């Protein structure tokens, strides 16, 4: 497919499936990939918000469909991959961005987050953490990514290859107090990425990860309204600011594009220098 004036062309003719695609990093990836010429499958637990993102993508002149999915379910991941192929014939790229910061997390708009961030949980600290809460975070953030990778890789293998990007975090390497479940899940995503990259290379499938730093998304929740918290995170970040979803989408775009055709099993940290500073 030839590029037109509305696209940059780095994803021309490609089909990209984005989980968690209705908000935050997932939404940014869908819009960014569409601007570069891709057709988009917006997969999310919230079908109404996914449909809104589809409308945004259509306004860019690109086709898109919304698919409802709970990524912690194997059956729903398989149905999601089937729906993508039914709509567009194949899957060329996938960003597994669906995730939660804690067991009670529900994605909302950034300005509607009161009481919805990890600092308000009753089981915040390790000794108080319930098995139910622990398991929910692992189910979504780690097992869900594995199931998405499996379902998408099967389709990519049939189609001759593709690129998968999994969203990890600086929390997969740096400990965040009160977030053992989240940190362990994101560390697992990084190791899962390496394992998948090794095993899927034979099918022409590349698998990489992106580890965001402190990003202004709905998952950051009410803390974005806490000036002391924001100032502390800005001081912790050598570049002196919080990131935005487009910072992550740009990294994902590179890893899914042909420019990264010899890159697999790697992780990029768009974090404003947090990892470089050893924090």
What pLDDT, in 10s, does the model give residues 25-70? 999 999 999 999 999 999 999 999 999 999 999 999 999 999 999 9
Give residue 54's region: left, alpha or beta (phi > 0; psi -120 to 50).
alpha
Assess contact for 66 and 50: CB atoms under 8 A.
Answer: yes
Q: Give the integer Cα–Cα distance in Å for 7 and 214.
A: 29
Q: Do residues 30 and 42 lie in contact, with contact meaning Cβ atoms separated by under 8 Å?
A: yes
Q: Is 19 helix (H, G, I), strand (E, B) or coil?
A: strand
pTM over 0.85: yes
Q: 175: exposed, middle or buried (C-beta count within 10 Å: 0-12, 13-18, 19+)? A: exposed
Query: What contacts 235, CB < 8 A, 6 or more positions away?
Result: none
- Residue 199: other Cβ atoms inside 10 A: 12
Range with the lowest mean pLDDT among 2-16, 115-129, 236-250?
Answer: 115-129
pLDDT score of 109 more than 80: no
pLDDT value at residue 222: 53
Summarize pLDDT for 146-184 with one digit per residue, the tens. Answer: 999 999 999 999 999 999 999 999 999 998 888 999 999
Tokens linked to 61: 């002149």
Phi, psi dihedrals of residue 167, rounded to the nearest 5°? -90, 110
Tokens standing for residue 248: 């992550």
Domain boundaries, the chain: 15-268
What's the CA angle centered on 45, arms 39 and 47, to 5 degrees? 60
The DSSP output letter for 102 is: S
Catalytic residues: 182
SS3 category, 8:
coil
Q: Would you identify the CATH topology of the domain 15-268?
A: Rossmann fold (3.40.50)
Q: How far is CA 163 from CA 84, 93, 157, 168, 262, in A?
A: 15, 5, 11, 16, 11
Q: Angle CA(239)–CA(242)–CA(263) in degrees, nearest 5?
A: 75
**Contact (CB, 8 A) for 192 and 145:** yes
Q: Which two tokens stand for residue 31?
A: 């819009």
């Amino acid at each position: 497919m030839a590029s037109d004036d509305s696209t940059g062309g780095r994803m021309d003719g490609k089909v990209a499936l984005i989980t968690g695609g209705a908000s935050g990093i997932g939404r940014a990836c869908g819009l960014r990939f569409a601007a570069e010429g891709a057709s988009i499958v917006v997969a999310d637990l919230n079908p109404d918000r996914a449909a809104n993102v589809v409308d945004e993508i259509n306004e860019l002149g690109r086709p898109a469909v919304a698919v409802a999915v709970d990524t912690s379910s194997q059956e729903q991941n398989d149905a999601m991959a089937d729906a993508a192929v039914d709509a567009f014939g194949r899957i060329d790229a996938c960003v597994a961005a669906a995730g939660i910061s804690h067991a009670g997390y529900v994605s909302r708009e950034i300005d509607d987050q009161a009481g919805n961030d990890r600092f308000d949980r009753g089981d915040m600290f390790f000794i108080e953490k319930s098995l139910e809460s622990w398991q929910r975070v692992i189910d979504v953030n780690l097992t869900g990514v594995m199931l998405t990778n499996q379902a998408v890789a099967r389709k990519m293998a049939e189609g001759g290859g593709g690129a998968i990007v999994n969203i990890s975090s600086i929390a997969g390497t740096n400990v965040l107090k009160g977030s053992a479940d989240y940190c362990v899940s994101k560390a697992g995503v990084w190791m899962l990425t390496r394992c998948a990259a090794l095993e899927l290379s034979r099918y022409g499938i590349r698998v990489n990860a992106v580890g965001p730093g402190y990003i202004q998304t709905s998952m950051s929740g009410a803390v974005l309204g806490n000036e002391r918290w924001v100032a502390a995170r800005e001081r912790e970040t050598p570049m002196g600011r919080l990131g935005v979803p487009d910072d992550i989408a740009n990294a994902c775009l590179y890893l899914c594009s042909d420019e990264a055709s010899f890159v697999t099993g790697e992780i990029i940290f768009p974090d404003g220098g947090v990892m470089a500073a050893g924090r």
